[in-house]
A and B are shown apart, each in its own frame.
Chain A
Amino acid sequence: MNAALSAPTTSHGDFTIDRVYDAEPQDVWAAWTDPAVKARWFIGPEGWSLVERTLDVRVGATEILRGRFAHNDFETLFTARYHLVEPGARLVYVYDMHLAGRHHSVSVATVEFIADGVRTRLRFTEQVTFVDGTDGREGTASRQRGTAAHLDRIAGVV
Chain B
Amino acid sequence: MLQHQALDRVFQALADPSRRAIVDRLSHGDASVSELARPLAMSLAAVVQHVQLLEASGLIRTEKTGRVRTCQLDRGVLSQAETWLSQRRTLWEGHLDRLGEVLAQQKAERVAKAAPSDPPKQRSAAVRRPRKPT
The answer to whether A146 and B96 have CB atoms under 8 Å apart is no
The answer to whether A31 and B84 have CB atoms under 8 Å apart is no
- Number of A-B residue pairs, CB cutoff 8 Å, is 119
| 0/1 interface trace, chain A 28-54, chain B, CB 8 Å (1 if under) | 100100000100111101000000000
The answer to whether A124 and B92 have CB atoms under 8 Å apart is yes
The answer to whether A31 and B80 have CB atoms under 8 Å apart is no
The answer to whether A15 and B91 have CB atoms under 8 Å apart is no
In-complex Cβ contact of B85 among A128, A146, A150, A157 (8 A):
A128
Count contacts on A: residues with CB < 8 A to the other chain: 41
Tell me, yes or no, whether A11 is within 8 Å of chain B by CB. Answer: yes
Q: Contacts A11-B84, A148-B23 hold; do A21 and B78 have CB atoms under 8 A apart?
A: no
Across the interface, name the chain B residue whose C-beta is closest to A23: B103
Across the interface, name the chain B residue whose C-beta is closest to A19: B96
| 0/1 interface trace, chain B 85-96, chain A, CB 8 Å (1 if under) | 111111111111
Interface residues, chain B, with chain A CB atoms under 8 Å away: 2, 14, 17, 20, 23-24, 26-28, 59, 73, 75, 78-104, 106-107, 123, 126
Q: List 30 A-B contacts (CB under 8 A).
A: A11-B81, A13-B2, A13-B81, A13-B84, A15-B88, A17-B93, A17-B96, A19-B97, A19-B100, A21-B99, A27-B103, A31-B102, A40-B102, A41-B99, A45-B94, A105-B84, A118-B123, A118-B126, A124-B96, A128-B88, A130-B81, A136-B80, A147-B23, A147-B78, A147-B83, A148-B14, A148-B24, A149-B23, A151-B87, A155-B90
